[in-house]
Structure 1
Amino acid sequence: MTLTFKPLHHGDRIEMVNPAGDVGLITLWSPVPVARRRLAATVPGILDPAGSRVAVVANLYGDGMYAMFCNLLFNPQVRHLVAVGEDLGQPTCREIEAFLRDGLEDTTLLGRRLKRIRGENRLFPDIAEFDADRLRRTISFRNFGRLSGEQPTPGLADHLDSLPRAPQESLPERVRVDIPEFEADAYEYRPSQPAAHHVVRRGPLDCWEELVVRGIRFGVPVVLDNGPRLELLNAKAVITEPEHESDELLGRYGFRLDRMLAYQEAILDPELPDGISYTYGNRLRGHFGDDRGGQDTLEAVVDLLRDDPETRQAYISLWDTEADLPAAGAPRPGSRPCLTTIFFRRAAGKLTLTATYRSHNLLTAWLQNVYGLMAIQRHVADRVGVPVGPVTVISHSLGIDPRSPRYELGRGIAENWRTDEDLDRARDRHALRQDPNGYFVVDVDEDEDCLVVEHRYAGLLIKQYRSDRAAVIERAIIGDMGVSLVSHAFWLGRELATKEQALRERRKSRVSSAAPDGAARR
């Protein structure tokens, strides 16, 4: 009996060509309909169901690689993979080649056992049924690169004709690998205001780590059109010192510096590849404008900031309402930008950047996006001649996909989060976080018999509080909004309680020493 393709995972995202075919066609980031039209026009018959060797066509980006290989184990008649299209600076094809050449290795991230493609940072779940060795023995792969306009893809037709065919009787059995689904009762959802999460940290990795903790602990379980998510709304992150981290530090969490640098280069590229509906670089530097050519909005911002350093008009929208939000009945685009606005503002002599995203994948995309924003900020700041300041990222929908291979990593980060202190990762040292609202000095005035609390900032006295009761001072500080960190508030509460107890003991001591001998004994 002839085996035909049966999708085990993501069947709604896979387009069938010839179910009995033995080739899987990967279009990477290029939309499948665009790729199919180009291939049908330039390589006649390649996608004709009657005789095509192509079984299925699908995109491949994000965390879809593991599901693709699981589908191949369930469909052993598909022996060949062919990639065409845009990879947008991502190493997807390189990772496939590395997997088939070098296989997987065991790895542990924050106490979680995972598999990693040797020499790469692509993570897979550690599932016994996943037979990597069988895939390596039976699957071939070739990348034909970008689809270039109406020109044929050189060698593609000849390559498909030359691929060896495997007799049906020699094919191994189907292997079913079930990717663990998210179970609501396994998730400890903690109550919060999901639209009020705000993180301020020194570096990009610090901000990302705390956002992961918040997303795992407080994300609201929702089901979207592309599956379940743990979601925070309008999550705000402020990176006060947006600088590159080392490859060693990024590698602890499954990231690589070279990928971040490649993304930084791509986000400044104005070219729009064939078949791609948008890129951030094109929206920033080529999409908008008249027929004479697209406007470079970054250069326009540079000119504006040079002319008026204090301007509040250095604002860029990447959202094209006509294209991204078409009128009722008009065709809808295949994809829309997640990054929607960027605002530049000079503050305290530095160039700040604030970006808004309509949706954000926290585990896989957020940190890379921040590195892209850092490149944009640096590009503008260098041309204006000012140093860079904080980067602020507002994510309207910040989501964690519990089906992601990186979900276990996120759970591990949340479970191991024990302190609110700043961490010098290079030296592995902790330090108390400095409250941007200032600090407090708590003491007892023995002459006035009361507590004295001084609110200070950089050595300057902001306000002094006096009372013989800690609760009175606490309410006054709360009313003045003097504390912004939870850890600082706990410390201040302990200090007030300690000093108040010392004040009571002094009073008792004075009463005892002033009382008659008999009264003291009683």
Structure 2
Amino acid sequence: MPLDWPLYFRDNLTYGDREHPAAICCLWMKQSRLADTLSPATYSVLGNLYSKDGINYLLRNVLARPTVRAIIVCGPDLTQSGAALLHLVNDGIGEQHRVRGDPSASSGQAEYTQIEIEIPREAIDDFRANVQMIDLRGINDPAKVQEKLKELGETVPRGLFAEPRVFPRHTPAADEFPAEETGFVVRGARIVEVWVHLLAAVLAFGRRDLTAYTVQQRELLDVVATIHDEEATDFDLPAWLPLTREQLDAYYPQLLTATRPENIAYTYGERLFDFNGRDQIAAMVQDLRATRYSRRAVAALWDPARDPGSADPPCLNLLQARVRDGKLHLTAYFRSHDIFRAWLTNAFGLRKLQAEIAERVGDSMLGDLAIISQSAHVYADSWDAARQITVEHARDYLKNPRLVRDPRGSFNIRVEGFQIRVDHYSPEGNLLATFNGANARALQREIAFFTSRVDHAIYLGMELAKAELALKNGWSYTQDQELSVEVWAAGSGSSTGQLGL
């Protein structure tokens, strides 16, 4: 029997008589609500169960010291972890070690209760056969819990119900992660940078699903990719890219001219420059010349007379150009977008088209290119190649968040007197606002709204925590530098060391 029991979350549990056969799982209730009232002699251990994954640790702890013969499940079941625990005991596990009867699994949701494969089925069955569950979910009254404990103390046997067992630790190897249902955003300076991040996002967060072509894909919905700093005359095409300059040059006429090769039903360029005899790009240019702030510079590529029911309708459906502050921005909407095979050529071609429109409108610099992909997907036969690119090159595009422009501005953090001061600057360097506070938590709540990048927000959280430590301990704080701590050693005066924070 392990001497250092419990094996997991030892410091997060409340202990009574460790030999007692009854334990308490109080779900989302504060442990202190029960621990401050219950007699420690009437239970062995008291703990929370915030997530369904926590059932694995509960199993491991009980099976490592199998003296627990009854568990009271009480308190609010906010994540249905209590329901899943009861389903485990009542219904067992099915294929792939998933709990039977879990309502989230049976309703077709992606969530399910996974019991780690390292915990053998026979051990789980031992737990189910020997550990009684008392369902007091929703009950927060310590008196009712104490009443049930008294009853269990008189009826539940003591001692081991099996030999102690310790199982190998589980190493998670998930290749699909939860994410937003819609509205995934990727921003970057250059097209290749954004593409690599898009591939990584689809492979990590994309939902596995079948397509109309009966092949597997990973898919994100309503992805917005924004490129803000690449000239159309100087495209970055690294040697490892699955696209050559010759292939790109061959693609441009399909988008930038009305020419349609033989045996091709249509091209994007034909529908943009000669859609039933109308040059939509010329109309967009004319509209923006007449009214710089117009919101009517739109080109539609979907033909309602031909495309519904067509075997090969256009994936690019709409373009809109806007001029703001002397910059021409272009937005493109794709109903369906193969991120691995098509997105790159589409993006380079659209950037060329954007530059052409800006030149024809006049007095307009190249602004952002925003590509909206309603279905952003990578087909199964491209997964390995896409994954290799992200593994080998994604890190090349990870930058110090301090050095990456956040379009919502930057922040200067310093300690002044008895407060932390945060100055918010625009990207142009103009002071916008000042925030003052004595702790990091209050300040992060104020400034979080003014950040757009996750890495920037994480960076600011780290710096605010350092500033708070310095303020509370009287240390010197300088943004982007390690905390310098003055340590007094007996007989040798003071010395200065770095905390590495």
TM-score, length-scaled by structure 2:
0.56
Is the CA contact 2:253–2:269 (under 8 Å) kept in the aligned structure 1? no
SS in 2 for 1:236: strand
Is the CA contact 1:421–1:432 (under 8 Å) kept in the aligned structure 2? no
What letter matches 1:355 in structure 2? Answer: A
- 2:175 matches 1:207: no
1:501 corresponds, among 469, 483, 487, to 469
Please give the per-residue CA displacement for 1:295-339, whole angstroms capped at 9, x wherever unaligned: 1111111221221122111001000111112xxxxxx42310000
Shift of 1:241: 2.0
- Aligned twin of 1:316: 299
Is the CA contact 2:423–2:434 (under 8 Å) kept in the aligned structure 1? yes
What letter matches 1:320 in structure 2? Answer: D
Q: Distance in 2 between matches of 1:417 and 1:217?
A: 16
What letter matches 1:239 in structure 2? Answer: I
Gaps of 5+ in 2: 1-171, 476-486, 489-501
- Aligned twin of 2:413: 442
- 2:179 matches 1:192: yes
- Aligned twin of 2:231: 243
Q: How does 1:119-268 map to 2 (within 5 A)?
A: 188-226=175-213, 227-244=215-232, 249-268=237-256
Is the CA contact 1:190–1:218 (under 8 Å) kept in the aligned structure 2? yes
What letter matches 2:258 in structure 1? Answer: P
Shift of 1:498: 1.0
- Aligned twin of 1:433: 404
- 2:436 matches 1:466: yes
Count matched residues: 303
Q: Distance in 2 between matches of 1:466 and 1:431?
A: 21
Please give the per-residue CA displacement for 1:29-69, whole angstroms capped at 9, x wherever unaligned: xxxxxxxxxxxxxxxxxxxxxxxxxxxxxxxxxxxxxxxxx
Please give the per-residue CA displacement for 1:122-161, whole angstroms capped at 9, x wherever unaligned: xxxxxxxxxxxxxxxxxxxxxxxxxxxxxxxxxxxxxxxx
Q: Distance in 1 between matches of 2:425 and 2:237?
A: 35
Shift of 1:430: 10
1 or 2 for the larger relative contact order (CA 8 Å, sep ≥6)? 1
- 2:392 matches 1:409: no
Q: Distance in 2 between matches of 1:268 and 1:401?
A: 27
SS in 1 for 2:450: coil
- 2:332 matches 1:364: no
- Aligned twin of 1:57: none
Q: Distance in 2 between matches of 1:224 and 1:213?
A: 20
Q: Distance in 1 between matches of 2:328 and 2:221?
A: 27
What letter matches 2:463 in structure 1? Answer: E
Percent sequence identity over aligned pairs: 31
Shift of 1:379: 2.3
The 1:503–1:351 alpha-carbon spacing in structure 2 relative to 1, beyond 3 Å, is: same
The 1:276–1:193 alpha-carbon spacing in structure 2 relative to 1, beyond 3 Å, is: same
- Aligned twin of 1:398: 376
What letter matches 2:240 in structure 1? Answer: R
Shift of 1:357: 0.3
Is the CA contact 1:242–1:391 (under 8 Å) kept in the aligned structure 2? no
- 2:460 matches 1:492: yes
The 1:491–1:474 alpha-carbon spacing in structure 2 relative to 1, beyond 3 Å, is: same
Please give the per-residue CA displacement for 1:60-85, whole angstroms capped at 9, x wherever unaligned: xxxxxxxxxxxxxxxxxxxxxxxxxx
Q: Distance in 2 between matches of 1:455 and 1:421?
A: 26
Q: Distance in 2 between matches of 1:470 and 1:420?
A: 32
- Aligned twin of 2:287: 304
What letter matches 2:473 in structure 1? Answer: E
Q: Distance in 2 between matches of 1:376 and 1:244?
A: 9
What letter matches 2:359 in structure 1? Answer: D
Gaps of 5+ in 1: 1-184, 289-293, 326-331, 424-428, 510-522
Shift of 1:186: 8.6
Shift of 1:394: 0.1
Q: Which runs of 4+ in 1 moved over 6 A?
A: 245-248
The 1:244–1:254 alpha-carbon spacing in structure 2 relative to 1, beyond 3 Å, is: farther
Q: Distance in 2 between matches of 1:252 and 1:356?
A: 28
Q: Distance in 1 between matches of 2:273 and 2:468?
A: 62
Q: How does 1:8-23 map to 2 (within 5 A)?
A: none
Is the CA contact 2:260–2:267 (under 8 Å) kept in the aligned structure 1? yes
Shift of 1:488: 1.2
TM-score, length-scaled by structure 1:
0.54
SS in 2 for 1:251: coil
Q: Distance in 2 between matches of 1:272 and 1:242?
A: 28
